[in-house]
Chain A
Amino acid sequence: MKSWIPRGGEFAAKLQNTAKPIAGTALAELMPDYVKNWLAQARLLYGVPFEYQVCDEHYLPVESMRFFYIDRNWTDALIDGALSIGTTSRDLLFKRTNIRDIQQTLDELEKTVRSGLRGVKPPQELSSDLISGFLLRSAVVSGYPGMDIKGYVDKARTQTLPILRIERLAPDILVCLFSGKPADVALQQPPEGLHFGVRQLDASKDVYSVILRQVSGDKVGLQFEPSQQADVSFRKNADGVLDISASVKSIGDKLLSLHQQLPSNVLDSSGFAIQMVRASGLQQFTTGVLPTQGNRE
């Protein structure tokens, strides 16, 4: 196509000058929302085939956890590729002129992808350009959907890092991306599942117990040390049926031995319910050392 606009280097220079059509607004910010969000999500590896993220199974064996940094050059190349569809030499020039703007817009936008998807306000103070995260491949992922993940800036766990993405990539593979680098990561069992049950310390043994909680004093409901357990027994010749009377007695006796006050020295049904509530587990992972003992809350 013939044009009266001068070609070549002059054209590129002009384009550079005209990249901001509206005063003070970067061109990239005027992209359609769908395009912007699509690109921001691609930055967080939405849609990227898993075999390109983890190209060999040895990177992520069964029952493993792998921490990583996101290679910005890789994701920048991904975006650059996405912007290279249907290009003539003119479009390439256009892309080259605007790529910095677009990438900078996405730098901000990628931090709001998660809040946008959840329909909540974007988190404050998202200044970090570094993205790190971990992949978890474990039966925990499939068995406990909705687990609560927190990344802490410091080992004292005073400040949490904004989470950019938590996603199950496969039934047993979970990816979590933080804005910044965590010193400490905590995984918590889904807290919404307040339910009743017993604890089996050793899967090979038929011994079940509950970790006791206080029923009197000013800390009602607070759990004793995990060692303070009471056995629960099962009805004979009945698969999985608890012997409630015997368990109530076992738990009640143990509580009395811990100087807990029971009405008429017998555990009542509300006290029994408190003991049978299964709380959620919390596991911390700290940089540099092996995982610490899990806590129960």
Chain B
Amino acid sequence: MSDDNVNENDLPPGEIAFFGACYPPLQSGQYQLELSQTLKNVPGESAPPNFKRAQKISLTSPRFTLAASSVQMVYPPADAVGNFLNTMPNVVLTRRTLPWERPIDPHHIGLKASATVDASQDHTPWLALLTLYQNEAENIKPKQRSVAELLDTGNTKIKGPDLGGLVSDAQKQTLCLTIDISPTLFQTIAPKVDELKYLNHVRQVNTDGKEVLGIDEEGWYSVSVSNRIVKTGEKNTVYLVSLEGHKADLPGGGADLSNIDALRFAVLATWSFTAEKSSGDFLGLLQALPERGGIELMQMPNRTKTAGSVPDTVNNVLDIGYTTLQLQLQDGEQTNAWYRGPMVAQPTSRETAISYSTADQAIRYDHTSGLFDMSYAAAWQIGRLLALSDATFAKQYYNWRIANYTSMDATAESHVVSDKLGKLAPDNLHQPARKVAEQAGVQLLAKHMILTAKSIPVSRTHQKARPSETLPGVISAEQMKQHLQRGLPPILAIKPKTADLTE
């Protein structure tokens, strides 16, 4: 199927279009362009002269190796561990024509006229995805070999691809990844020739608006799917191999492999993953929940309810999510206590602005059962331990708290000053004016008053006349003045001083 008639804009976002195949105009290989021209009615020539010209061209495409960028994604993901139950691995390739670019049987083309080639082109894909289970993959060691070694294995028991001599010398020098698989295993797991077309298809996705399924950019991709489902509980290895020249070796292909120990393939991509054991698929597991663990509220299973020996009060407590845990009191006594975590079976009403000084302050006593409720005490303690265990948090929080004292002190101080100033202000000063003085210009005013009227004491802790420098918490008028001139709250001057004195 060609994409000529498909308008890419037709695909709404999020939708995917599937196409059976996307054939290239010409398969890769050696071609010869021939030009002939016949000149008619040339004077003096009995027969019209005929000029011929031939030009050989070779159409190349990935053959023994595949650039990593050509692989858009693989599923199951490489090295993943997960539940891939009943999944067929697949690989998404960025080149939409890739699976059809090479003839699976290079002999088939031969030297034919172009029209004949086009009609007889074998559109069987040349790529196959082989899924190997753990015990099978153990015996297969991928190895870097030159293309020459791939084609001519040097061992009659190991059969390489039969490419009909259509490989250039330069190409033979290149390295590629190869594997040797026993014919028995290969014939067991490889798809048949007529199955290959079902295992390769083309996908178009609309990439407008969002990234769809991890596939992006141009929106056209070829997809190769394995014909084998993943084996659960072990490591699976997947090889994208080239079947070019191996058509006869496929199951039912008719090659005589009785004297062959191994078939050698070029590996274009490989990855492995581990499929975990699982008791069922997604829906099966979820639908089994009610019969197994149940879908309920966060409560302890109440075994005592049926016994009838427990008072209702206890049952009620269990209903709202509590359980009893052993509690060791500080004096060494062992007792039981109620506990429930943050996830509770009933909504709770929130107490605003609780603040405890110690964990013990958060202990509650349930007088109906005579037991302590340790829930909030435990929460408080956990919070404290979490904060302490995170050094960054502890340090930043601590510094923030300290920094706040400074600003709070300054504000508190201005309140004190404004109180004092308010008392100093004349009684007949209007209330609004007083407010302005107190709130807006308080610092300025204080500064001004201290600088001009030295007789007003702003801070006065001791009445006794002692040298102010020696008094704790007191600074001299000169220091106060300096600080206010620098725009700093006077408390900053007090602090270092008191620190000195306490030493």
Where the two chains meet, the residues of A that have a C-beta atom closer than 8 Å to any C-beta of B are 1-6, 11, 14-15, 17-19, 21, 27, 30-32, 34-35, 38, 42, 45, 47-49, 52-56, 58-87, 90-92, 94-96, 99-100, 103, 129-130, 133, 135, 137-140, 142-145, 147, 187, 189, 192-200, 203, 208, 221, 235, 237-242, 244-245, 248, 268-274, 276, 278, 280-281, 283, 285, 290-291, 293-294, 296
Contacts and interface: CB of A to CB of B under 8 A. Distances in A.
- Among B131, B200, B278, B341, the one with the most A-chain Cβ atoms within 10 Å of its Cβ is B341
Contacts of A30: 400
Contacts of B408: 15, 18-19, 21
Contact of B383 (A82, A144, A245): A82
Contacts of A86: 394, 398
Nearest to A86: B398
The 6 residue pairs across chains A and B that have the minimum distance between CB atoms: A64-B293, A81-B383, A143-B83, A81-B380, A68-B343, A63-B292
Contacts of A4: 416, 459, 461, 473-474, 491, 494
A74 B281 contact: no
A193 B189 contact: no
B494 A69 contact: no
Given A2-B473, A59-B299, A63-B288, A92 B354 contact: no
B54 interface: no
Contact of B390 (A38, A96, A138, A268): A38
A245 B213 contact: no
Given A74-B375, A239-B133, A83 B397 contact: yes
B178 interface: no
Interface in B298-330: 298-301, 321, 323, 325
B393 A15 contact: no
A67 B321 CA distance: 11
B191 interface: yes
B387 A81 contact: yes
A80 B383 CA distance: 7
B290 interface: yes
A197 B276 contact: no
A77 B378 CA distance: 9
A79 B383 contact: yes
A198 B498 contact: no
B34 to A, nearest CB: 35
Contacts of A280: 282
B109 interface: no
Interface stretch (B40-48, B146-154, B156-164, B221-229): B221-229
B351 A140 contact: no
Contact of B229 (A67, A96, A197): A197
Contacts of B353: 99-100, 103
Interface in B183-207: 188-189, 191-192, 194-195, 197-203
A270 B355 contact: no
Interface of B: 15-16, 18-21, 75-76, 82-83, 85-88, 90, 131, 133, 188-189, 191-192, 194-195, 197-203, 213-214, 223, 225, 227-231, 276, 278-290, 292-301, 321, 323, 325, 339-348, 350-357, 359, 362, 375-388, 390, 392-394, 396-401, 404-405, 407-409, 411-413, 415-416, 459, 461, 472-474, 491, 494, 498, 502
B193 to A, nearest CB: 10
Given A143-B278, A294-B286, A67 B225 contact: no
A14 B383 contact: no
A77 B360 CA distance: 12
A248 B197 CA distance: 11
A276 B292 CA distance: 31
Given A21-B407, A69-B347, A270 B88 contact: no
A241 B186 CA distance: 11
B350 A76 contact: yes
Contacts of A67: 295-298
A200 B83 CA distance: 14
Given A56-B323, A199-B281, 12 more contacts: A32-B396, A66-B343, A67-B295, A67-B298, A68-B344, A81-B386, A130-B347, A240-B229, A245-B194, A270-B18, A270-B202, A272-B201
Contacts of A27: 404
A63 B408 CA distance: 54
Nearest to A75: B342
A271 B202 CA distance: 11
A241 B382 contact: no
A63 B291 CA distance: 9
A270 B203 CA distance: 9
Contacts of B76: 195
B300 A200 contact: no
B499 to A, nearest CB: 8
Contacts of B88: 195-198, 242, 276
A290 B398 contact: no
Contacts of B280: 139, 203
Contacts of B82: 143-145
A60 B292 CA distance: 11
Given A144-B83, A283-B282, A5 B384 contact: no
Contacts of A238: 188-189
B286 A138 contact: yes
Nearest to B398: A86
Contacts of B283: 189, 281, 283, 294, 296
A221 B204 CA distance: 14
A235 B321 CA distance: 55
A133 to B, nearest CB: 7
Nearest to A19: B408
Given A14-B412, A270-B18, A68 B494 contact: no
